[in-house]
Amino acid sequence: MSGNEQRYINEAFESNYIAPVGPQVELFEKEFAVKTGISYAVALSSGTAAMHLALCELGVVAGDEVFASTLTFIGSVSPVTFLGAIPVFFDADYKTWNMDPGLLAKEINACAERGRLPKAVIPTDLYGQCADLDRILEICTPYEIPVIVDAAEALGATYKGRGAGVGARAAVFSFNGNKIITTSGGGMLASEDKEFIAQARFLSQQARDAAPHFEHSQIGFNYRMSNILAAIGRGQLHVLDERVRVKRQVFTKYKAALQDIDGIEFMPEAPFGKSNRWLTVILISPEQFGTDQEKVRVALEAENIEARPL
Ligand SMILES: Cc1ncc(COP(=O)(O)O)c(C=O)c1O
């Protein structure tokens, strides 16, 4: 935490909105939209919830295919299965470690020939590095296939000078405890489409109709962010740039120390963007390095340094 959060939490208590609604939620959404450069945003209980709502709105139903990155976290794709749809995984491009646009183009062309297109494409911005969104949009737009960017790990990263997720049909962000900024748990769905976000907000609040009594003509979810957590998020937004700076510094430090060792390669940074370096990641070639990644992990654990295989 940065110190600002407590001030906003106090404001939340003073307003007595201890609920998944209130002034902090509205302000967090507005400030987030300004920070990311995506015009509309709805604050939710998790990034997974944000992806679920986005897919619901795109009309994904049982049996549909949704294309996703194979190198990702389960929260990208578990919502595909909530809807009974089928996730189809695309391998990573060696230059970015993100969805390989060449493989995507090939498969979409094959899909068009078969007459069965995917309902959506979900590239992940892995470990804080943006996927090649313009290439992916070029492939998907002629077929009107919506692209939902899973930018859960990439807040503060840029792609061709614009923020992660800008230009997609919608983008998903996470404020889980392990993310670059956190609300303990939480997420955001953001889009240039005002109606898309308004509908997501409606669905996230149990799809309650505009009536004085409780009436629901469709099924929604209980996915809205708490006013208290939004207060934390507002405080955290102030330190996003600083967090990115420090994360990049951590990466630079490891790289300076280890780059000359045979058998170690660092996750590359694509020329089109600036990664937030949410995680520092290396590739180990055991033959050259002399031992495998599991032995490295165990040795680090003995020093109380957390590491894990990807
Ligand atoms: C790539 C990716 N997608 C989705 C999620 C899901 O976000 P959440 O944990 O807020 O549900 C996460 C993080 O947890 C993530 O890293």
Write the pLDDT tens digit of every residue in 223-254.
Answer: 999 999 999 999 999 999 999 999 999 999 99
Q: How confident is the model at residue 221 (pLDDT cuts 50, 70, 90)?
A: very high
How far is the centre of ligand 1, averaged over its atoms, from the C-alpha of 261 (Å)?
32
What is the distance, to the nearest Å, from the Cα of residue 52 to the centroid of all Cα atoms in its chain? 12
Query: Quick one: pLDDT at residue 131?
Result: 98
* 125 Rama class: left (phi>0) / alpha (psi -120 to 50) / beta: beta
Q: Tokens at residue 221, please?
A: 């979810």
How far is the centre of ligand 1, averaged over its atoms, from the C-alpha of 279 (Å)?
14
- Structural contact between residues 87 and 77, judged by C-beta atoms closer than 8 angstroms: yes
pLDDT above 90 covers what percent of the chain? 98
Q: How far apart are CA 45 and CA 156, in angstroms?
A: 20
- Structural contact between residues 155 and 173, judged by C-beta atoms closer than 8 angstroms: yes
How far is the centre of ligand 1, averaged over its atoms, from the C-alpha of 310 (Å)?
15
Hey, whose CA ends up nearest to atom 5 of ligand 1?
75
- Structural contact between residues 175 and 236, judged by C-beta atoms closer than 8 angstroms: yes
Q: How far apart are CA 280 and CA 257, in angstroms?
A: 13
Q: How far apart are CA 244 and CA 254, in angstroms?
A: 16
Q: What is the torsional sign of CA 240, 177, 187, 213?
A: negative
Query: Quick one: pLDDT at residue 65?
Result: 98
Q: Give the start-end residues of each E strand in the chain.
A: 40-44, 65-69, 86-90, 120-122, 148-150, 158-159, 162-163, 170-174, 187-191, 264-266, 273-274, 282-284
Query: Quick one: pLDDT at residue 192?
Result: 98
Average pLDDT over residues 4-29: 96
How far is the centre of ligand 1, averaged over its atoms, from the C-alpha of 47 (Å)?
5
Beta-ladder partners of 92: 99
Atom of ligand 1 nearest to the CA of 124: 1
Burial string for 23-44 (b: 16+ CB within 10 Å, else e) reads: ebbebbbebbbebbebebbbbb
Q: Is the pTM of this model over 0.85?
A: yes
- Structural contact between residues 48 and 258, judged by C-beta atoms closer than 8 angstroms: no
Residue to mutate (ligand 1; options 53, 73, 189; most atoms within 8 A of CB): 73
Q: How far apart are CA 275 and CA 252, in angstroms?
A: 12
Q: Give the start-end residues of each E strand in 50-104.
A: 65-69, 86-90
Q: Ligand 1: residues whose CB is within 6 Å?
A: 46-48, 72-73, 75-76, 124, 150, 152-153, 174, 176, 187
Atom of ligand 1 nearest to the CA of 153: 16
Atom of ligand 1 nearest to the CA of 46: 10
How far is the centre of ligand 1, averaged over its atoms, from the C-alpha of 136 (Å)?
21
How far is the centre of ligand 1, averaged over its atoms, from the C-alpha of 212 (Å)?
36
Q: Residue 131 contacts by C-beta under 8 Å, 6 or more apart in sequence? A: 69, 96, 98, 99, 123, 124, 125, 149
Q: How confident is the model at residue 52 (pLDDT cuts 50, 70, 90)?
A: very high
How far is the centre of ligand 1, averaged over its atoms, from the C-alpha of 38 (Å)?
19
Q: How confident is the model at residue 267 (pLDDT cuts 50, 70, 90)?
A: very high
How far is the centre of ligand 1, averaged over its atoms, from the C-alpha of 227 (Å)?
21
Q: 């997609």: which residue's tokens? A: 168
Query: Quick one: pLDDT at residue 309?
Result: 93
Average pLDDT over residues 278-290: 96
Average pLDDT over residues 102-127: 98
* Cβ count near 226 (within 10 Å): 23
- What is the separation, in whole angstroms, between the first and last Cα of the chain? 27
Hey, whose CA ends up nearest to atom 1 of ligand 1?
73
Residue to mutate (ligand 1; options 42, 44, 46, 48; most atoms within 8 A of CB): 48
- Averaged pLDDT of the chain: 97
User: Residue 103 carries which side chain, given as an amino acid letter?
Assistant: L
Cα-based distances in Å from 16 to 10, 13, 25, 151, 233: 10, 5, 13, 32, 18
- The residue among 171, 166, 178 whose CA lies nearest residue 127 is 178
